[in-house]
Amino acid sequence: MEPIKVMFLNPVGTGDYDAFFAQMAEEHRHPATEVHVTSLDPAVGPFTHIEYRAYEAMVLPHILQATVQAGREGFDALVIGCFYDTGLLDAREISDTTVVVAPCHASIETALRLANSFSIVVGRWKWVHQMENTVHGYGYSRQLRSFRAVEMGVVEFQQDHDCTRERLVQAGRAAVQEDRAEAVILGCTLETGFYQELQDELGVPVIDPSIAALKVAEHAAHLRRRQGWIPSRRWSSQAPPAQELAALGLFQRPYAFGNRIVVPPA
């Protein structure tokens, strides 16, 4: 049997953090899983993050093209590596038989297998309005206890680990003790690497969104292979007709990723 293939898409136009995510994949993937960490064509713009809706709007067409390419290459599952879950439903619509997952949804699913409620620790208050709407849209309003912000931007999380750790612990402690959260979700994929220390400190499950998304993608990939559970194409999940896409000239050319790191099976 060929190895399970998962693509972890870093949805920005630079490969600066690809090695970081590849290391995460190396440490946490199943030994039989092949993970490709990719980033977008630099033509999308020199974004190192997509904290703003305007940036998201600019990268979305590339995320969709990357999704189509993942389907062409036979990937079992694709992770859109941003906690905003940018373009998740749009990408699922055109993913062919590839299962598409994203960190926010995957983290909530994981947390609610372990607890009845959760709080999300985000970088900046700017993010909360959009993420809150996303959580409500997924139907988890009653389980969401709070958002806590540490006032750090995406690119700051991996600059001074001691500072990041201190702020995450402080916010996580407030979420548990004051908001009565039974689990804590880290609300950015670049918050990866801190969950174990926080978990030991807080005494509740702390969900790392990059790891959660990767593991949910692996699980979905196995179900795709063994049970034939692929994305629905009925009613609201209907994909655009292939003939119409061809007539419009959409998604007809191969998509060239800006960078790709392959983490082979062990």
The confidence score (pLDDT) of residue 102 equals: 98
Mean pLDDT score, 1-14: 94
121: domain range?
Answer: 105-208
113 and 201 within one domain: yes
211-260 tens-digit pLDDT: 999 999 999 999 999 999 999 999 999 999 999 999 999 999 999 999 99
Mean pLDDT score, 159-185? 98
Q: How many domains are there within the chain? A: 2
Give Cα 223 to chain centroid, integer Å: 19
3-state secondary structure (DSSP) of residue 256? coil
20 with 50, same domain?
yes
Same domain, 98 and 117: no
pTM of the model: 0.97
Q: How far apart are the first and last CA of the chain?
A: 15
Of 208, 226, 254, the one marking the end of a domain is 208
Average pLDDT, the chain: 97
b/e per residue 96-124 (b: at least 16 CB within 10 A): eebbbbbbbbbbbbbbbeebebbbbbbbe
Q: Kindly report the CATH number assigned to the domain that includes residue 70.
A: 3.40.50.1860
* Same domain (yes/no): 155, 204: yes
**CATH number (domain holding residue 178):** 3.40.50.12500
Rounded distance between C-alpha atoms, residue 86 and residue 183, angstroms = 24
For residue 33, pLDDT over 80 is answered with: yes
Nearest Cα to 195, choosing from 111, 79, 100? Answer: 111
Q: Is the pLDDT of residue 1 over 90?
A: no
> What single letter denotes the amino acid at residue 141?
S
**Residue % of the chain over a pLDDT of 90:** 98
Using the predicted structure, report yes or no on whether residue 112 has a pLDDT greater than 80.
yes
Residues 70 and 197 in one domain: no
**pLDDT tens digits for range 126-156:** 999 999 999 999 999 999 999 999 999 999 9
pLDDT reported for residue 263 = 98
Mean pLDDT of 204-209: 98
